[in-house]
Structure 1
Amino acid sequence: MGKWYARPVLFVADVQRTVDFYVGKLGFSEKWRFADEVAQVDRDECEIIVSSQRPPKTGMGMLFIELTAEDFKVLPETLTSRGVVFTRGHWGYPVVIVDDPDGNQLYFPDPESPAG
């Protein structure tokens, strides 16, 4: 059986504003864009498509992004230094939560915490 590959789509009100956030605040790069309606941002092996094509779904996304233990440890400091507001939460284990400009949530789980 072959490798499965997935790219989440997060719905947003303004693609450029969202790309600016992911690139400028979270360190992604813009990989491609289709008009002003759809774009993809990438960082390492994390690829996210953002789209303004489904307004009723804007801001309803939730995405888990796994980091190495080392990267997770410096995440709060990195986010703070870039002016990114975040919260700490729990989803069976500790997580750092970042809301994008439309309220889509990025959950960064603590890789060193046992589940549950």
Structure 2
Amino acid sequence: MTTPDRYASVRYLVDDVQTAIDFYTGHLGFSLHSSAAPAFADVVRGPLRLLLSGPASSGARATPPETAGAGHNRVHLVVDDLDAEIRRLTAAGLPLRSEVVAGPGGRQILLADPAGNLVELFEPAGRG
């Protein structure tokens, strides 16, 4: 089991590893951890290590249908000012995949990486 002083990792299958690196490092504050592009790279933000597996990566093998979960998963990133993030991402030409959704815990919006993997930007209640 991963200990608290190590990264927690999530694997995303991507069409183009370099495009994914550019997206996560250029727009969402990740840093490149390692790269074996075009097959694989990993980027980090805080304790999150995002594994970017391209078509040539062994990790890009499809999940067997009988073991796949309900889906609709996404990386959840906390932001201080959701409205500022929306303005910044829109100005960069990135399409948002939802309207802002508000609830008792805060507000969120979805965007997708170049391969269509979802990223949720979440502003906790009381911020912004």
Residues 1:43 and 1:13: Cα distance change in structure 2 (over 3 Å): same
Which residue in the other structure is 2:43 paired with? 41
Percent identity reads 27
Which residue in the other structure is 1:74 paired with? 84
* TM-score, normalised with respect to structure 1: 0.72
How far 1:72 sits from its partner (Å)?
2.7
Q: Indicate which of 31, 56, 60 corresponds to 2:33.
A: 31
Equivalenced residue count is 108
Distance 1:5 1:20 in 2: 21
Name which of structure 1's ranges 47-56 and 88-97 shifts more when overlaid on structure 2.
88-97
How far 1:32 sits from its partner (Å)?
0.8
* TM-score, normalised with respect to structure 2: 0.66
How far 1:21 sits from its partner (Å)?
1.7
Considering Cα pairs closer than 8 Å and 6+ residues apart, tell me whether 1 or 2 has the greater RCO. 1
SS, match of residue 99 in structure 2: strand
4+ long deviations beyond 6 Å: none
Alpha-carbon RMSD across the aligned residues, in angstroms, is: 2.7
* Paired amino acid for 2:15: A
Instruction: Give yes or no for the alignment of 1:97 onto 2:119.
Output: no
Distance 2:125 2:94 in 1: 23
Q: After superposition, where does 1:1-40 map in structure 2 within 5 Å?
A: 3=4, 5-40=7-42
Residues 1:6 and 1:27: Cα distance change in structure 2 (over 3 Å): closer
Distance 1:7 1:72 in 2: 24
Which runs of no fewer than 5 residues in structure 1 stay unpaired? none
